[in-house]
Amino acid sequence: MLNWIFSILFLWFIFSHSNGQPSRINEDISSAMEANALSFLSEVDTKLKSIRNIEYNAAYDYNINITEKNRIKMIAIKTENCKYVKEVAQMIKSILSTLSLDALEEEDYNTLMNAISKMKSNYAKVKVCSYEDKTICNMALEPEIQERITNSRNPDELAYYWKEWYDHSGLPSRENFRTYVELTRKASKLNSLKSYADDWINKYDDKDFEANVDSIYNEILPFYKELHTC
């Protein structure tokens, strides 16, 4: 019972303090999630009080009137209550055992956040030279490069922008990306997951999410190939 209460309190602590702990709590935990968590806890608390009251009354009836009928009734109620407690405990265990990147030690977490922010910064700041005039080197991804890729029908120009963008945005981020892969894998192992992909997939309610995505991919693949062979 104490473990059960501790799990409930710990879950409440996580959600109710999420906005006050930006350094260790996932940024995507919103106020809506907090409200849902508190609503869930309130519902569980009410239900738990109710079933425990019924259980205690059954135990009391048996203790003051030890009959086979009262014994069977008490055991049946205890067994039914145990099923409910286990179901909710499994839900809480699932939430508490998957801390995503927050499972990392502080040093690793900071290293990972630095790597991610540097990749984002590099992606946003990269500029390349114009295909038509190499003295003009202020071509950003948005809107200049995207405009040329959208409207140009010159394969050499398209290949130029693709390579220039890759060389300037991808290559400088290699080390940071290696760090990202290494530490997300480490976080996944700490969460008892095979890979960080599992962490992403776990956020979806659809148990057949991967199979459904593969199915959609295979449906559009022929059209994609046809489009790019024109």
One domain for residues 69 and 138 = no
One domain for residues 140 and 179 = yes
Looking from the CA of 217 toward its CB, the CA atoms found within 13 Å total 6
One domain for residues 110 and 155 = yes
Is 204 annotated to bind a ligand? Reply is yes
In a domain, 6, yes or no: no
In a domain, 212, yes or no: no
- pLDDT given at position 175: 94
One domain for residues 183 and 126 = yes
On the question of a cis peptide bond just before residue 22, with omega within 30 degrees of 0, the verdict is no
- Residue 53 lies in domain: 33-96
One domain for residues 112 and 181 = yes
- pLDDT given at position 111: 93
One domain for residues 73 and 110 = no
User: What is the tally of structural domains in the chain?
Assistant: 2
Whether 122 contacts 116, CB under 8 Å: no
pLDDT tens by residue, the chain, 230 residues: 434 444 444 454 444 444 444 444 444 445 555 666 677 778 888 888 898 899 899 989 988 888 888 888 888 888 888 788 878 877 776 666 667 888 888 889 999 999 998 998 888 889 999 999 999 999 999 899 999 999 999 999 999 999 999 899 888 899 999 999 999 999 999 888 888 888 888 778 788 888 999 999 999 999 888 877 65
CA atoms 24, 27, 29, 30: torsion sign:
positive
Q: Which two tokens stand for residue 218?
A: 């295979």
The Cα-based distances of 73 to 49, 53, 84, 126 in angstroms read 19, 14, 17, 72
One domain for residues 107 and 51 = no
One domain for residues 173 and 83 = no
In a domain, 20, yes or no: no
Q: Which two tokens stand for residue 139?
A: 């071509």
Whether 101 contacts 26, CB under 8 Å: yes
State if pTM tops 0.75.
no
Q: What does the alpha-carbon distance between residue 100 and residue 183 come to, in Å, rounded to a whole number?
A: 11
- pLDDT given at position 147: 95
Q: What does the alpha-carbon distance between residue 77 and residue 130 come to, in Å, rounded to a whole number?
A: 76
